[in-house]
Structure 1
Amino acid sequence: MPKSQPYRNNNNAPRKRQLQLDEQNPVVQAFRNYASELDGKHDRHERILKLSRDITIESKRIIFFLHSIDSRKQNKSKVLEEAKHRLNKLIEVNFRAIAQELREQDVYQFRAAYSPGLQEFIEAYTYMEYLSSEEKDGEDSKLISSWSDLQSIMQYADDSKKSEEDAADSADPIGCKFQFFVDPTEYILGVSDLTGELMRRCINSLGSGDTETCMETCKALQQFYTGYISLNCQRARELWRKITTMRQSMLKAENVCYNVKVRGGEAAKCANFDHKPAEDADEGFSMY
């Protein structure tokens, strides 16, 4: 049987001499530049992520504030005015700061950093627009901003790099403008989240006795769902998950409206809001 090797203390072993790097070497200089570039990218990613968190928190607060609208209190105009002011502040401050960070950068490299905030903002902004257009006459009056409309309000002018004399002499001010790029995919995902707020509004309106708003909101949910299932996006995992949630919200709203039609004034007491669709329910399309 071989003898076990004795324990050797490596602390007493002679230390290797540390080599001094030649900073003038082109390879060393190239890697120094790579390290500096990566550090700058990580720092920019963290700054954008913090701005996106602030946008997400404020957007959620605005949505919660919009749900405080009550026809019995007649506070709709006041709530909408304040919500619009807070949303415009997000556009002028937070999104401007992100757009400034992304100038001359590949925006898709930092998409994951600002995506949650952008989707939450789109949800809050479109919900505010939907509520603002409810008082107009006609079914086509309940409109929300399209992607191009939302992109148009994310335009900014950089006045810090130009003095008043340069601005007066310059004939081309386009170079001092920049924008926050609204990804069309993020817009579609953000609008899909709007249906969850519409479902809550449908249920809340029933509790306050406003059955007309309950019916109109359910109709809007059906229109949203009809449009989204026509996209045929089974391979888009995130969007497909949101469409599944949208279907559940629509069925809850339809169940509320069914109770309104059948039970009338007793609907708020007897409605079952936890109705879930059957697994074999046919919506006219295949899940695979």
Structure 2
Amino acid sequence: MFKFSHCHRFTVALTHMAARKSHRLPQIAGASSSPVETAKKPRTMATGSAIKDAFAKHAEYLNNLNEKRERVVKASRDVTMNSKKVIFQVHRISKYNKEEVLSKAEDDLAAVTNQFMAKLVKELQGTDFWKLRRAYTFGVQEYIEAATFCRFCKTGTLLNLSEINSSLLALCDKSIEPLQINVLDYLLGVADLTGELMRLAIGRISDGEIEYAQKICQFVRDLYRELIVIVPLMDDHVEMKKKMEVMLQSVTKIENACFSVHVRGSEYIPLLGTDNPDFAFFGISDFE
């Protein structure tokens, strides 16, 4: 009897709970018409629209960035190709045509700056140009190599980064943040300069300009000593390390060439038929 009444009360309680739930269902079903739920629905739709607009803007930004990257790559290639022509022009230098060759090389370099570097500056000024660095760094490095090569052959000094960036300011719109070459690209270009100086030194030795070759050798040595102090502070930059290895090879080649000339010069024997009256074949005085 006790068990039956206990179960009966439990059954009645479940019946009342089921009845209360059945009464709540219409309220829940009709809850969407309440002011609170009505206010939440437009807010959800507005959030979805905002996300959609944000994605659309980001997609448009990426498309524009890719198009700009293609234009920057094209401009960088033009800078690279024409800067190489300037370097080839400088290699024609000799003690007989120095002023003529350097004048032509400077005119060619000015054309590269005003035509091709100007296109690069126009594309990159006023933007986050560091995002596109891989697209233009090789052209900038080649341009630095050509500009510093001309400066050394003319004055025997190194063109510094501030001078290069100052020349680019004239190509920029003053109301927009200008493109400025960073230190890394400058150092990479200077590292390439030593290879051209090595070729120039070997060529001057073959033409008998020993003093000029020795001047180049000392300049490249000093440059290597300066850079070998800076490179360890560059967070193990792989590209710069490779160029430092090539630079050391260039220094060694110039030193060996200058040393060989110095040693062999003391052992040099004039050719037969020389006009030197003091020359005696086999150490025997010439017969009168």
Q: Which residue of 2 aligns with 1:183?
A: 182
How far is the alpha carbon of 1:232 from its aligned partner? 4.6
Normalised to the residue count of structure 2, the TM-score between the two structures is 0.71
| SS in structure 1 at match of 2:208 | coil
Q: Which residue of 2 aligns with 1:164?
A: none
Amino acid of the structure 1 residue aligned with 2:113: I
After superposition, the CA RMSD in angstroms is 2.1
Amino acid of the structure 1 residue aligned with 2:167: I
Q: Which residue of 1 aligns with 2:223?
A: 224
Tell me, in whole angstroms, the C-alpha distance in 2 between the residues paired with 1:263 and 1:236: 41
Residue 120 in 1 paired to residue 114 in 2?
A: no
Q: Which residue of 2 aligns with 1:155?
A: 169
Q: Which residue of 2 aligns with 1:249?
A: 250
Amino acid of the structure 2 residue aligned with 1:96: A
Amino acid of the structure 1 residue aligned with 2:89: F
Output aligned runs, 1:21-170, within 5 Å. Answer: 25-71=49-95, 74-133=96-155, 142-156=156-170
Amino acid of the structure 2 residue aligned with 1:231: I
Tell me, in whole angstroms, the C-alpha distance in 1 between the residues paired with 2:159 and 2:102: 16
| SS in structure 2 at match of 1:222 | helix
Tell me, in whole angstroms, the C-alpha distance in 2 between the residues paired with 1:157 and 1:245: 34
Tell me, in whole angstroms, the C-alpha distance in 2 between the residues paired with 1:213 and 1:249: 16
Q: Which residue of 1 aligns with 2:261?
A: 260
How far is the alpha carbon of 1:180 from its aligned partner? 2.5
Look at both structures and tell me which one has the larger radius of gyration over its CA atoms. Answer: 2
Q: Which residue of 2 aligns with 1:282?
A: none
Tell me, in whole angstroms, the C-alpha distance in 2 between the residues paired with 1:206 and 1:254: 12
Task: Summarize the Cα distance change of 1:64–1:157 in structure 2 as closer, same or farther, 3 Å threshold.
Answer: closer
Tell me, in whole angstroms, the C-alpha distance in 2 between the residues paired with 1:132 and 1:263: 30
| SS in structure 1 at match of 2:59 | helix
Tell me, in whole angstroms, the C-alpha distance in 2 between the residues paired with 1:63 and 1:157: 23
Deviations 1:89-148 (CA, angstroms, capped at 9, x unpaired): 222222222222123210110111110000001001000000011xxxxxxxx2122111
| SS in structure 2 at match of 1:69 | coil
Tell me, in whole angstroms, the C-alpha distance in 2 between the residues paired with 1:68 and 1:190: 21
How far is the alpha carbon of 1:25 from its aligned partner? 4.1
| Structure number having the greater helix percentage | 2
The sequence identity of aligned pairs, in percent, is 32
Tell me, in whole angstroms, the C-alpha distance in 2 between the residues paired with 1:104 and 1:149: 21
- Contact map agreement 2:188 2:240 (CA 8 A) in 1: yes
- Contact map agreement 1:83 1:128 (CA 8 A) in 2: yes
How far is the alpha carbon of 1:156 from its aligned partner? 2.9
Tell me, in whole angstroms, the C-alpha distance in 2 between the residues paired with 1:240 and 1:37: 35
| SS in structure 1 at match of 2:170 | strand
Tell me, in whole angstroms, the C-alpha distance in 2 between the residues paired with 1:110 and 1:153: 21
Gaps (5+ residues) in structure 1? 1-23, 134-141, 160-173, 268-288
Q: Which residue of 2 aligns with 1:235?
A: 236
How far is the alpha carbon of 1:158 from its aligned partner? 6.4
